[in-house]
């Protein structure tokens, strides 16, 4: 079977009350349309055709990719008209229609649906709801065979009582599509060309309609307003939390945990409340993450510990290393095994060797720090002269006294020591002591100033 996928995304979404096109509104950090495209790609179709209209330029700009064919629908004359716009680009034998504002559809559900379609049969995804108001209703004959879809606004009272609704997602044989599209009319309550009318046409042409249902009704839920968007977000997060727990993660509270990207986890991982994982995050076995951490595009190796209120972006934490509370690891930070980063420490483009420590109130930027080197509290790498950035290179077993300024470019050899409060502007050789501060003077008989008495 060869497959073309058509994603309908031209609608306006007035109820979002937003300048942003509806399908660009985010769920879990990705646009709704982005989620649909992601699922579509997993089906490895020969083409993905995205029908755009409202906000078309912004949608195209945001999502442009080599494997996407954007199709313009200038006027939104209905779902049938939308699919017809993509018709000239379709060459596969099967067409799958998805909605750009129905982001949580599962690939497994689509695979089941595609299992039902062939040249004699359509696959239709339906959903049975307590309140199907607004949905097209699935009309079945006495034998239970689907004969038509009737839109809510065109339905009789008896048809409105049907609980089985049309999700809008369907798979059809492409060979018939052009002919059916040609037969659509807009003679209905909304004056639109309904894609749903192809069901009755297919039946009258002797094709069968096979239905499937999603595992969970939220898979086929669209977002028309921000409240529904929030419901989709919560459902997505609930699903992600469940997936991670199934793989061996303890979440202190699955309702206070957010994933906005792709997360890979090992076993016996512990994640406390209010943690946000963004981008690509890899978490190996026995990692612990404290409360209120934001962790983006980061790898946490076995046994790494991230303590409360830390912010990590583009970092690698080695085996058994720890950071925080209140640590900030910026892009290019690499902590080797057992390295320690304490509170109010910021690292950027910095490598801490095995067992190296920066315990308190420190900034290390563009720095190479050797194994077991200790960075005293309040140490700052002065890596920027206002125009250019320079590197600070420290050997192994170096001891940097507290409140030091390391003015880059500067190198300090292995085993060297710097006195507290030093401003280090010149290289220090291995094992030397460097002191770069004013010598202390003690003055005898010093009198403190006294308050001048007012007369």
> Rule CB under 6 A: which residues touch ligand UD1?
8-11, 51, 73, 76-79, 81-82, 99-101, 135-136, 149, 151, 165-168, 194-196, 222
CB of 193 to ligand UD1, least distance (A): 8
Token duo for residue 187: 């003679």
Q: Rounded CA gap, 281 and 292, in Å?
A: 16
CB of 203 to ligand UD1, least distance (A): 16
Q: Rounded CA gap, 450 and 454, in Å?
A: 12
Strand 26-27 versus strand 30-31 pairing type: antiparallel
Q: Toward ligand UD1, which CB reaches closer, 51 or 352? A: 51
Q: Spell out the residues 6+ positions from residue 301 whose beta carbon is closer than 8 angstroms to its own.
A: 284, 287, 316, 317, 318, 319, 321, 337
Q: Toward ligand UD1, which CB reaches closer, 124 or 371? A: 124
As a whole number of Å, the CA-based R_g of the chain is: 31
Please choose, from the candidates 52, 105, 79, the residue with its C-alpha nearest in 3D space to the C-alpha of residue 172. Answer: 79
Q: How far are the Cα atoms of 132, 150, 220, 310, 443 from residue 138, in angstroms, in the given order? A: 11, 7, 15, 52, 96
Q: Rounded CA gap, 271 and 65, in Å?
A: 35
CB of 403 to ligand UD1, least distance (A): 60
Q: How far are the Cα atoms of 11, 23, 54, 103, 230 from residue 14, in angstroms, in the given order? A: 9, 12, 10, 18, 17
Strand 164-173 versus strand 121-128 pairing type: antiparallel
Strand 257-265 versus strand 275-283 pairing type: parallel
3-class SS shares of the chain: helix, strand, coil, % to 5: 20, 35, 45
157, containing H or E segment: helix 157-160
CB of 18 to ligand UD1, least distance (A): 14
Q: Toward ligand UD1, which CB reaches closer, 184 or 265? A: 184
CB of 6 to ligand UD1, least distance (A): 10
Q: Toward ligand UD1, which CB reaches closer, 99 or 236? A: 99
Q: Spell out the residues 6+ positions from residue 234 whose beta carbon is closer than 8 angstroms to its own.
A: none
Residues facing 260 on adjacent strands: 278
Number of H helices, E strands in the chain: 8, 35
CB of 106 to ligand UD1, least distance (A): 17
CB of 252 to ligand UD1, least distance (A): 37
The 10 Å CB-count burial string (b at 16+, else e) for 265-285 is: bbeebebbbbbbbbeebbbbe
Q: Rounded CA gap, 163 and 135, in Å?
A: 9
Strand 94-99 versus strand 164-173 pairing type: antiparallel
CB of 77 to ligand UD1, least distance (A): 5
Q: Toward ligand UD1, which CB reaches closer, 149 or 283? A: 149
Q: Which position among 152, 216, 235, 360 bears the catalytic label?
A: 360
Q: Toward ligand UD1, which CB reaches closer, 139 or 406? A: 139
Q: Toward ligand UD1, which CB reaches closer, 77 or 146? A: 77
Q: Toward ligand UD1, which CB reaches closer, 150 or 412? A: 150
CB of 166 to ligand UD1, least distance (A): 4
Residues facing 264 on adjacent strands: 282
Q: Toward ligand UD1, which CB reaches closer, 149 or 345? A: 149
311 among known catalytic residues: no
The catalytic residues are 360
């Amino acid at each position: 079977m060869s497959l073309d996928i058509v994603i309908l995304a031209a609608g306006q979404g007035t109820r979002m009350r937003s300048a942003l096109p509806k399908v660009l509104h985010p769920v879990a950090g990705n646009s709704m349309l982005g989620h649909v495209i992601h699922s579509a790609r997993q089906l490895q179709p020969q083409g993905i055709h995205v029908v755009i209209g409202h906000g078309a330029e912004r949608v195209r700009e945001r999502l442009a990719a080599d494997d996407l064919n954007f199709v313009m629908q200038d006027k939104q004359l209905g779902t049938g008209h939308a699919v017809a716009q993509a018709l000239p680009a379709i060459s596969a034998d099967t067409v799958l229609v998805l909605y750009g504002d129905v982001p949580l559809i599962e690939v497994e559900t689509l695979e089941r649906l595609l299992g039902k379609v062939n040249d004699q049969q359509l696959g239709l995804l339906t959903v049975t709801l307590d309140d199907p108001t607004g949905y097209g209703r699935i009309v079945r004959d006495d034998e239970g065979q689907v004969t038509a879809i009737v839109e809510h606004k065109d339905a009789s009272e008896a048809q409105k009582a049907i609980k089985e609704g049309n999700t809008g997602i369907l798979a059809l044989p492409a060979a018939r599509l052009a002919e059916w599209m040609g037969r659509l009319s807009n003679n209905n309550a909304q004056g639109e060309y309904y894609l749903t009318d192809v069901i009755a046409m297919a039946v009258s042409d002797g094709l069968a309609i096979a239905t499937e249902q999603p595992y969970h009704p939220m898979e086929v839920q669209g977002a028309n307003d921000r409240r529904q968007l929030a419901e989709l977000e919560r459902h997505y997060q609930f699903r992600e939390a469940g997936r991670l727990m199934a793989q061996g993660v303890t979440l202190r509270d699955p309702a206070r945990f957010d994933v906005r990207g792709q997360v890979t986890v090992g076993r016996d991982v512990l994640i406390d409340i209010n943690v946000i994982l963004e981008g690509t995050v890899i978490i190996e076995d026995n990692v612990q993450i404290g409360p209120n951490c934001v962790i983006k595009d980061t790898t946490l190796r076995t046994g790494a510990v991230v303590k409360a209120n830390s912010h990590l972006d583009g970092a690698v934490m080695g085996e058994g290393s720890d950071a925080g509370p209140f640590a900030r690891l910026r892009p290019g930070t690499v902590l080797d095994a057992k390295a320690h980063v304490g509170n109010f420490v910021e690292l950027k483009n910095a490598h801490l060797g095995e067992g190296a420590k920066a315990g308190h109130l420190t900034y290390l930027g563009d720095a190479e720090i050797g194994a077991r080197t200790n960075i005293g509290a309040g140490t700052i790498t002065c890596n920027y002269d206002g125009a250019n950035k320079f590197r600070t290179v420290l050997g192994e077993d170096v001891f940097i006294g507290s409140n030091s300024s390391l003015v880059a470019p500067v190198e300090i050899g292995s085993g060297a020591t710097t006195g507290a409060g030093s401003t280090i502007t010149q290289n220090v050789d291995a094992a030397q002591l460097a002191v770069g501060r004013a010598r202390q003077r003690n003055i005898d008989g010093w009198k403190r100033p006294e308050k001048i008495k007012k007369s």
